Amino acid sequence: MRNLIITMAIILNSYSVTGKEVYKNASAPIKDRVEDLLSRMTLEEKVGQMNQYVGLEHIKANSATMTAADLKNNTANAFYPGFTVDSVAKWTEQGLVGSFLHVLTLKEANYLQSLAMKSRLHIPIIFGIDAIHGNANAPDNTVYPTNINLACTFDTLLAYKIARQTAEEMRAMNMHWTFNPNVEVARDARWGRVGETYGEDPYLVTCMGVETVKGYQRNLDNTEDVLSCIKHFVGGSEPINGTNGSPTDISERTLREVFFPPFRAGVNAGAMSLMMAHNELNGVPCHANDWLMNDVLRGEWKFKGFVVSDWMDIEHLQDLHATAENLKGAYYQSIMAGMDMHMHGIHWQRMVTELVKEGRIPESRIDESVRRILTIKFRLGLFEHPFADEAESMKIRLSSEHRKTALDGAREGIVLLKNDNLLPLDTSKYKHVMVTGINADDENILGDWSAEEKPKNVTTILEGLKQVAPNTEFDFVDQGWDPRHMNQKQVDLAVFRARSADLNIVVAGEYMMRFRWKDRTDGEDTDRSDINLVGLQDELLKQVAASGKPTILILVNGRPQGVEWAAKHIPAIVEAWAPGMYGGQAVAEILYGAVNPSAKLAISIPRSVGQIQMIYNHKPSQYFHPYTLNPSAPLYPFGFGLSYTTYKYSDLKLVQKEIRKDGSLDVSVRVTNTGERDGDEIVQLYIRDEYSSVTRPVKELKDFARIALKSGESKLVNFVVTPDKLGFYDKKMNWIVEPGKFFVMVGPSSEDAVLLKDSFVVK
């Protein structure tokens, strides 16, 4: 590898920097370098910069196992029928490839970059990868807890830290561009991508998304930084039937008040790439939506980066949405609506070139996109540093510091939902523990967007239990990894052994690992028509609990699970989500009290699929007529989470009782740890407008603070309510702060009964 790098450095240096070749001059302003390079490019080279391909190894693997017909509905695997890896390699050498994705090793990345260095102008490749919670989609990288775990920490500093460490590991693999953060506001528990998001609240999603963007990019002018990609724009997280990519019908008011804020904040934070959503929005596919890409994104928000399509979604304008009569027309629609880069495919090069030569697309429009893409490549330092050193790579990836962050993140992001004085466990009381369930001893705790890891890099829940409680006898009854094909004999065996145990632990949930794509029950393109436990898991849980022995339910999943029976009958429930490579240790530490749980739900948990849509910030009339036979309230509300200590909220004070529309309000509350253990509490501030010219939510999260409190300690928590936290869009869709009375609510969750309340007036 060192020889390759030395050789390529010699090749690069052999191209002398002259006054005429400004783009090769690292000291020249980037704008000048871009314009100089653009002036030297052929039309074909420009169009190539706008196109992305899957990696060569990905092509080899899938062409050996898939047919052309298999590609139609597959959004994870690809190859190019009629073309070989040699074809793609040749195009790379010709300078007709701008980007690759699904390149999962440093060796392949360096090889493809070496091909690009043979091209006429030596324009480097930008490698994109779905590094959603760490660069977990590539082996031998730190796997952090998933985004929904991270959101449940309410820890924005942790969000920044994980993104920063992910950037370091990506650059150590010669990866430059992460398709994250996903700042969609998740409002349907059936949707398989909930775990990829930061939950249901626009403010929390915004805070986490902004810090993630900053952590990846910083100033984006350093060889240790990576390009972030805020996605998917917009509305795919509230599909009409819960399935990924299905139509979305959302009013402009809801778009601007719920779905747009995280994207706008991401743009303001410096995000320089954005991915469009699969779905059509109010009848117009997002990938051909001029209003979204040009009017809103570039016009209103002044976005300076480039827009990338999602997987083959430009093609879907023709073969799915049917807004284009043919593929060429689909490319035309998308480019003229504002698209900059195509993910991914072989027809783009020829057809887009023809569209320009036919006069349908001005070459100046192509130049706009290429200018944006080249600017990023220069800013990332790819022209000077196109390779990464394999000898240095593993000094950064999976470092002890990064592993510690993964463990700390799991500890902070696991939610204790129920505890009838069973937890923390007493090792002297529970000496013989039966453990069972599909997720008890499986890497599935890594979550979606994770490759298989070496066993030494993952601590499963069973392993964590044995590690944390070494003197306890754990009797493991394996239920396999597949919830849809559980074995009744194994269920019966677990039930039998439960009777002789002191305590039983059932680890249930969903299956998310991508290497078994067709067997998953949760994750991208794995949506559900219900939210019940899959297969025999419910039977397993009920019969184990019928043993009469204390039973704990641990959930490993990406979307909320409808576990109403368990909430009524099981004494302790832990929502672990997908806690990452050290999730098993973190779960065990919480069960045995080495860690005091502190996480709060970033999304409401419905009782059943019939409660969807279940969101805390609904409009006042949503439950005017309650459900007839079942409660209207969620099983567990947004912001809820238990601790092993108790907290008292008191002395809610509003320094001002009246403010001007452009003024601010100082709010304080005293929080006291009244229990016997130290802990972290997440203090939440909500606002409600008493009367308004258009209907407003019953409450909205407007601030939060994560504070550490020792046993008996009391702290004064201060918030400032600024005008942007009071405004909304009026009847004419103008942003206003309307005079009137507002309520301030502060407490440990969104539930009315636990919130302290006061009011103030905007004059």
- Considering the entire predicted model, what is its pTM? 0.96
Residue 37 confidence (pLDDT) above 70: yes
Mean pLDDT value of segment 65-70: 85
Kindly state the average pLDDT of the residues 166-173.
98
Helix (H) or strand (E) holding 589: helix 583-591
Q: What is the pLDDT of residue 13?
A: 45
| DSSP run (H or E) holding 715 | strand 714-721
CA dihedral 79, 81, 86, 91 (to 10 degrees): -90
To the nearest 10 degrees (0 to 180), the angle between helices 363-379 and 30-40 is: 130
Percentage of the chain lying above the pLDDT 90 cut: 94
50 has a pLDDT exceeding 80: yes
Q: Residue 404's pLDDT band (boundaries 50, 70, 90)?
A: very high
* Closest by CA position to 124, among listed 355, 354, 331, 373: 373
Tokens of 631: 């409660």
Range 411-424 burial, b when 16+ CB lie within 10 A, else e? bbbbbbbbbeebbb
CA neighbours within 13 Å on the CB side: how many for 502?
13
pLDDT-derived band at 74, boundaries 50, 70, 90: confident
Is the pLDDT confidence value at 534 over 80?
yes
Query: What whole-number distance in Å separates Cα of residue 496 and Cα of residue 512?
Result: 29
> In the numeric block, which tokens belong to residue 699?
């409450």
Q: How does the average pLDDT of the chain come out, rounded?
A: 96
Max Cα separation, the chain?
Answer: 83
pLDDT tens readout for residues 488-515: 999 999 999 999 999 999 999 999 999 9
3-state secondary structure of 415: strand
Question: Are 397 and 169 contacting, i.e. CB atoms less than 8 angstroms apart?
Answer: yes
Upper half-sphere CA count for residue 563 (Cβ side, 13 Å): 34
Predicted confidence at residue 440, as pLDDT, reads 98
Closest by CA to 311, choosing from 279, 339, 343, is: 343
Q: Give the strand pairing for 572-575 and 415-419.
A: antiparallel
Asked whether residue 439 carries a pLDDT value surpassing 80, the answer given is yes
**The pair of three-digit structure tokens given for residue 130, joined into one six-digit string:** 């779905």
Q: Give yes or no for a contact between 265 and 206, defined as CB atoms under 8 angstroms apart.
A: yes
pLDDT score for 6: 47
So what's the pLDDT on residue 20? Answer: 81
**DSSP 3-state of 228:** coil
Are β-strands 473-478 and 503-509 bridged in parallel, bridged antiparallel, or unpaired? unpaired
Helix or strand run (H / E) with residue 508 = strand 503-509
**Beta 432-437 vs 473-478: how paired, if at all?**
parallel
**Res 15 pLDDT > 70:** no
CA atoms of 679 and 672, how far apart (whole Å):
11
* Amino acid letter for position 579: P
Average pLDDT value for residue range 90-115: 98
Residue 581's identity, in one-letter code, is M
Query: How many Cα atoms are found within 13 Å in the side-chain-facing hemisphere of 577?
Result: 38
User: d(Cα 379, Cα 374) in Å, to the nearest integer?
Assistant: 9
E strand or H helix that includes residue 590 = helix 583-591
Give backbone dihedrals phi and psi of 88, rounded to 5 degrees, phi first.
-65, -40
Q: What is the DSSP letter of 605?
A: B
C-alpha to C-alpha distance for 557 and 605, rounded to whole angstroms: 12
Q: Which tokens in the block code for residue 396?
A: 């950064």
3-state SS track over 323-375: CCCCHHHHHHHHHHHCCCEEECCCCHHHHHHHHHHCCCCCHHHHHHHHHHHHH
**Distance between CA atoms of 246 and 158, rounded to whole angstroms?**
33
Compute the CA torsion angle 352, 357, 117, 451 (nearest 10 deg): 0
Per-residue DSSP letter, 444: G
Residue 100 near residue 114, CB atoms below 8 Å: no
What is the set of domains in the chain, with CATH numbers? 2-395 (3.20.20.300), 414-623 (3.40.50.1700), 647-762 (2.60.40.10)
For residue 143, the model assigns a pLDDT of: 98
Q: Would you mind telling me the total number of residues written for the chain in this entry?
A: 763
Tell me what percent of the chain is helix, strand and coil, each rounded to the nearest 5: 35, 20, 45
pLDDT of residue 11: 44
pLDDT at 16: 40
Closest CA to 316 of 246, 212, 222, 214: 246
Write phi, then psi, for 298 (nearest 5 degrees): -90, -35
What pLDDT is stored for residue 460 in this prediction? Answer: 98
Cis status, amide bond into 424, omega within 30 of 0: yes
